[in-house]
Amino acid sequence: MENIEKEIEIIKKRNRGVEMDKAWETSWTRRIFIAAITYGVAFLWMHTIGESLVFLKACIPTGGYLLSTLSLPFVKNIWIARKQ
């Protein structure tokens, strides 16, 4: 009986970790952090190659990333509906 309780506790601990990982993957903190890094890299690259309007043009890949994260739940729901 003690062994089963120990195994249940291990499974519960693992599930908490999985839930936190999933929460991180869908969090706005993660999205904004990645968007900021994307903007920074795009800005530096465009500045290095002598592009004009660097502040504005660096928004294009950043906006694309953010739009893709907003559309994924919609696409995921369609995919799940078709698989069921």
Q: Are 67 and 31 in contact (CB under 8 A)?
A: no
Q: Which residue, 75, 62, 74, is CA-closest to 31?
A: 62
Residue type, 52: S
pLDDT at position 18 is 92
The per-residue pLDDT for range 8-66, each reduced to its tens digit, is 999 999 999 999 998 998 899 999 999 999 999 999 999 999 999 999 999 999 999 99
Chain centroid offset of residue 14 CA? 21
Band (pLDDT 50/70/90 cuts) for residue 3 is confident
Any residues with CB less than 8 A from the CB of 30 and at least 6 apart, and which? 24
Length of the chain: 84
